[in-house]
Amino acid sequence: MTVHTGVRQWPGEGLTRVPYWIYSDQDLYAQEQERIFRGNTWNFLCLEAEVPRPNTFRTSNLGDMPVVVTRDADGKLHAFENRCAHRGALLCLHQQGERKEFACVYHNWTYDLAGNLTGVAFRRGIAGKGGMPPDATPERHAPRQLRLETLAGLVFGTLGTETPPLETYLGPDIMRGIRRVMRAPVRLIGGYSQALPSNWKLYMENTKDSYHASLLHMFFTTFRLNRLSQKGGLVVSENGAGHISYSMSADVAGKEYEQAKLRTAQEGYALEAPELLQSVDEFGDGIGLQILAVFPGFILQQIRNSLAVRRIVPQGLERTELVWTCFGFESDDEALNALRLRQANLIGPAGFISMEDGAAVGFVQRGSHAAARELSVVEMGGQGTSSEESRVSEAAVRGFWKSYRAHMRM
Amino acid sequence: MPAELGKIERAPGRDLVTLERQFAVQDLNARYAEAIDDDRLEEWPEFFRPDGRYHITTAENLAQGFPIGIVSATSRAMLRDRIKALRQANVYEAQRYRHVLGTPRVVARNGELEARTSFMVARIMHTGETTLFATGCYRDRIVLDGDAATFAEKVVVLDSRLIDTLLAIPL
């Protein structure tokens, strides 16, 4: 069903109610691309390690707009729309590689690594015939170039003319949370993508929903690996755009876990291979889990020693690609690398504590299909969007909508 | 056809892969796939040696030398834990698979058999929706011990990097 945004009003209750038409409105989808992804937001494009040397590139997205990120001969980063100035064909057909320039395969128009049009094939025609008029200015239709900022190895881009500096956009808490994880030069260890059967916002809400974690993801609970006493908290940035949900690590290698195992073994709920959960406190602060998300589509994950960035790519109203890139650090020794690889069983589309997310967002999409006039209730932890100690809260979800409504002028 | 392509493959030890060994590999994977497709998941770990390795990755990761696994187990115990989790903890809509296996290419090496078998897996949701869920290649190391064949290693190399919704049941 396509509904028109003109008749849509945000419910009077404010951020504690989310109308279901927000996930099923085709016009709204197009407007989001313009006002959010191509608007005044910072979008995570890739890790610097993905364009490691001069003359390397990788493709990425700004919402559903295809983008090429490059590192030029001088080592400077650029990003531009993956679209030829001529007929709009993709300029770059590879996910990554090395290139000194780009040439559109369709008519061989060429571009430098900053995305500037450098050549038009047969511009003056052949033997004085054909070609473009002398006053033609195809350069004016060149692919749009993004403004970039990097932070601790992360590359962010924006097309917005009024996007504040990245540091201001993120705020001090989120900056600290990013720097905490991105503590050293990154080494890539691989990645994969997950096709989510839902609107992009449902996945972003899911990552900001600290309330669902122990209820939907039953792995830790079933195997009695949760600690009710586990300390943690929820940090929401002032503009609502960023959040961090964190918890202190349970000492799974110590006495506490052994005791738990004794209890649960009798009930048949112990892990046969508990080494799955062996981890080290590599950040030295006892925080075992930190999920950090930045509006509109970036997630930085530390689940024990499993580190990854996730990038949300909207691919239409009811389809979203989630791009996972897992990493460690150049300084990792073999033992730490082995821990990261083993703990990767916790994450991704087959992850013990993450596989459900791909399905859950689809359940909402399907369940609310005929409920455009109904409202969902987002009232755990009250009405606010501020940081708090309890993770039994939807404050970060409300923060998402606060940010969303500001950008959408809704 | 160049003679090279038609040559019978011999391992460095000049051990000719016999029909019997070819059959053993094919039979092992047939029984393996049937156990999964028939939802006898508790039997799945038993196809592996106690220190067997099961790893799901993508062709892209493999080509770039990236070690990450979508699933990465290094013992039969870890496989049992995964099935226990699927049965008791993880939440996913009722679904089943249908494996279609290709002809294995088998090489004997160091007393083991190395085999590559193409597979296609359709996923059938409880709603009836049937889709092509995964294609790829099994890269197996198989140990023959008397009448028994077991996996010392099974690396599932997916052709695509994109997984639809979730991957709960093993491939």
- As for the ipTM of the complex, it is 0.92
**Which residues in chain B come in under a pLDDT of 50?**
none
Please tell me if residue A190 touches chain B, with a CB cutoff of 8 Å. yes
Q: Which amino acid is at A63?
A: G
Task: Look at residue B3 in the predicted model and tell me its pLDDT.
Answer: 61
pLDDT digits (tens, 9 = 90+) for A157-208: 999 999 999 999 999 999 999 999 999 999 999 999 999 999 999 999 999 9
Please tell me if residue A114 touches chain B, with a CB cutoff of 8 Å. no
**Which residues in chain A come in under a pLDDT of 70?**
1-7, 224-229, 250-268
Please indicate whether, in this complex, the C-beta atoms of A273 and B81 are within 8 angstroms of each other.
Answer: yes
Please tell me if residue A97 touches chain B, with a CB cutoff of 8 Å. no
Separation between Cα atoms, residue A348 and residue B45, nearest integer Å:
22
Q: Which amino acid is at B120?
A: M
Q: Which amino acid is at A280?
A: V
Task: Look at residue A214 in the predicted model and tell me its pLDDT.
Answer: 77
pLDDT digits (tens, 9 = 90+) for A99-124: 999 999 999 999 999 999 999 999 99
Task: Look at residue A221 in the predicted model and tell me its pLDDT.
Answer: 78
- State the nearest Cα–Cα gap between B169 and chain A, in angstroms: 9
Please indicate whether, in this complex, the C-beta atoms of B166 and A342 are within 8 angstroms of each other.
Answer: no
Task: Look at residue B9 in the predicted model and tell me its pLDDT.
Answer: 60
Please indicate whether, in this complex, the C-beta atoms of A193 and B167 are within 8 angstroms of each other.
Answer: no
- b/e map A383-405, b = 16+ CB within 10 Å: eebbbbeebebbbbbbbbbbbbe
Separation between Cα atoms, residue B149 and residue B134, nearest integer Å:
25
Task: Look at residue B111 in the predicted model and tell me its pLDDT.
Answer: 87
Please indicate whether, in this complex, the C-beta atoms of A356 and B80 are within 8 angstroms of each other.
Answer: no
Model's pTM, two decimal places? Answer: 0.93
Task: Look at residue A249 in the predicted model and tell me its pLDDT.
Answer: 80
Bridge partners of residue A302, in order along the sequence: A290, A307
Bridge partners of residue A308, in order along the sequence: A301, A326
Task: Look at residue A213 in the predicted model and tell me its pLDDT.
Answer: 81
